[in-house]
Structures are given as structure tokens and as C-alpha cells.
């Protein structure tokens, strides 16, 4: 997406730093908005429902999106950023009607999962069939692109399955070595207040997010802290959103900052110049993290509504 959006933003007069920052920060929301590979890895490591994690990520994802749009609007007004065509209700309606078949995809994926009609895997399969049908509707079927997408999907699935297998092996080793139980006992000897423990774990995951990729962090750390979470009565679905939000922020913070560095490479912008702009977007992600941490109803509202 960055290779398409960033050059077009720069062409229209946006600075490379702003174009990279807004693209990078918004891309990090993919971690908490379903479907999400880090959520699948967390579900495997913590032995919780992938579907419930997907549902829990919807409200925080919408809050994060609204916050990022608010920051973008602030920059647009303050620095008089370039404008496109004036808003037109007629053009909006025409575009909506033209795109209506495409809106079937999120309905199939999220509606099917939320309604309990299909599993997450079945919803993905149905969405693929729907995408092919929609491309036929628009007469944009390209067999070469379809072949490339199938190969890419197969390779990405293989990577995920290897990570899942590694997480299972790592979890078994840690369980036999009793490292998680020792960590839980050590922290519980300091405090048994679950809100204080969540604060400690937030700092912990923020720090490791600076240096580790999200998949590696989940595989290495989640099996260790799950016994502690169970001991103090923290909902593992709630904690899953805390973990993924921390890792989303880690993708924006140097020195690793995998997503940020990718956006900087596309925009050909200095990482520190981009970070000066991106700090405002990171503040939004931090605010969403704190709300999800200390107001559990935000991530758990839809979970409780659909699953009781």
C-alpha cells in the first residue's frame, strides 16, 4: 500500500515525512483489526479462541482509526495541506453504489464470524470465493495475478504455520522448565494487584517491542507470562489486545521499527524526520493501549455480547 499511496501523496504536495508517518502508523492497526496474524499466534500460544480475539479487536481498532484521522485532520488544518476535490454527496453515492459488491467481503468475514455461522478459517475461504466472484462482476479477472496471489498466500501460510509450530515447541519447553511459574511467583511476591501487574507488563512488552518483531515476541514471551495472567484473574482475551497493541507501537519505534523503516524506505525519508511527525500518531496508539488496559469493557464489549 505504501508503494502506491506515498508517491501519490508526495506528488500532491505532502512532505515525505508526513506521508511515511501516516502510512506507517495506520498500517500498524492491522495487528488489532481482524484478520490478524499476531492474534492467531497469540491465540495459539495462550490457548484461547481466535474468533474471540478478532471480535475483541474491532472496537480498539475503530478507536485507533478515529484517533489517527483526528491527528491527520489537525496536521491538515495547521499546515494547510493540499486539498482534493470538494465534497460532493452525489459523487459519494455514485462511488458507494459502484463499490457495493466489494463491501460483501467484510460482511462475509466479520458477519460470518460474529454470527457464529463459520469459523475464522471457513470465513477466509468464503472471502476468497467472493473476491473471485466480485472480480468477475467488475470484469477484472487476471489469471496471472490470481496465480501470484495463490503462491504468495501459500508462502505466507507456510511462514505462519512454522511460527505456530515453533510456539508450541517453545511453550512445551518452558512448561517443563517451570520458567513461567517462577516468573509468576516472582512478580506476585512484589504485588498481587492485577492493575499494577498490567502496568508492569505494559512496560515490559513496550520495551521488547522496541527490539523484537511481533511474531518473535509472542512466541518467546507469551507462554512465559500466561501463568501469571491466570494467577491474578486477568482475562486472556483482554490481555491479548494489550499484547498486540504494545507490539503495534513497537513497529513504530526505533531501533527495529519494521513498519516505520519500510515506510521510510518507500518515501525515501530520514527515519528521525519521520519519527518527529509520527510521535503524534504513536501518542494515539498509546492512548488506545491505556484505555484497553484499564477499561476492559472496550475490547471485551463485543466478545461478551456475542459469546456471553
pLDDT (0 to 100) of residue 156: 72
What is the DSSP track for the chain? -HHHHHHHHHHTT--HHHHHHHHHHHHHGGGTSSS-HHHHHHHHHHT--HHHHHHHTHHHHHHHHHHHHHHHHHHHHHTT----SPP-HHHHHHHHHHHGGGGHHHIIIIIHHHTTSS-HHHHHHHHHHHHHHHHHHTT---HHHHHHHHHHHHHHHHHHHHHHHHHHHHHHHHHHHTHHHHHHHHHHTT---HHHHHHHHHHHHHHHHHHS-HHHHHHHHHHHHHHHHHHHT--HHHHHHHHHHHHHHHTTSTTT-HHHHHHHHHHT--HHHHHHHHHHHHHHHHHHHHHHHH-THHHHHHHHHHH-
pLDDT of residue 175: 66
**Residue 168's pLDDT is what?**
67
Position 174 scores a pLDDT of 67
Regions of the chain short of the pLDDT cut 50: none
Q: What pLDDT is attached to residue 86?
A: 73
Amino acid at each position: 500500500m505504501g508503494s502506491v499511496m506515498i508517491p501519490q501523496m508526495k506528488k500532491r504536495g505532502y512532505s515525505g515525512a508526513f506521508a511515511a508517518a501516516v502510512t506507517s502508523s495506520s498500517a500498524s492497526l492491522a495487528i488489532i483489526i481482524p484478520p490478524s496474524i499476531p492474534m492467531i499466534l497469540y491465540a495459539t500460544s495462550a490457548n484461547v479462541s481466535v474468533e474471540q480475539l478478532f471480535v475483541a479487536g474491532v472496537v480498539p481498532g475503530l478507536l485507533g482509526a478515529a484517533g489517527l484521522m483526528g491527528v491527520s485532520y489537525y496536521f491538515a488544518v495547521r499546515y494547510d495541506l493540499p486539498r482534493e476535490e470538494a465534497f460532493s454527496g452525489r459523487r459519494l453515492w455514485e462511488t458507494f453504489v459502484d463499490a457495493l459488491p466489494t463491501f460483501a467481503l467484510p460482511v462475509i468475514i466479520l458477519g460470518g464470524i460474529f454470527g457464529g455461522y463459520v469459523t475464522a478459517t471457513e470465513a477466509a475461504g468464503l472471502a476468497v470465493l467472493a473476491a473471485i466472484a466480485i472480480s468477475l462482476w467488475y470484469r477484472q479477472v487476471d489469471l496471472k495475478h490470481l496465480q501470484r496471489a495463490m503462491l504468495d498466500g501459500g508462502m505466507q501460510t507456510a511462514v505462519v504455520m512454522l511460527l505456530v509450530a515453533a510456539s508450541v515447541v517453545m511453550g512445551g519447553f518452558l512448561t517443563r522448565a517451570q520458567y513461567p511459574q517462577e516468573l509468576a511467583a516472582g512478580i506476585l511476591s512484589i504485588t498481587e494487584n492485577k492493575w499494577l501487574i498490567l502496568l508492569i507488563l505494559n512496560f515490559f512488552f513496550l520495551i521488547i517491542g522496541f527490539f523484537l518483531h511481533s511474531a518473535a515476541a509472542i512466541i518467546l514471551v507469551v507462554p512465559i507470562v500466561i501463568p501469571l495472567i491466570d494467577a491474578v484473574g486477568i482475562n486472556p482475551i483482554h490481555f491479548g489486545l494489550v499484547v498486540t497493541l504494545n507490539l503495534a507501537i513497537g513497529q513504530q519505534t526505533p531501533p527495529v521499527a519494521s513498519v516505520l523503516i519500510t515506510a521510510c524506505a518507500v518515501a525515501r525519508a530520514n527515519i528521525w524526520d519521520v519519527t518527529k511527525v509520527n510521535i503524534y500518531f504513536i501518542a494515539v496508539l498509546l492512548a488506545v493501549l491505556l484505555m484497553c488496559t484499564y477499561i476492559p469493557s472496550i475490547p471485551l464489549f463485543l466478545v461478551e455480547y456475542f459469546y456471553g
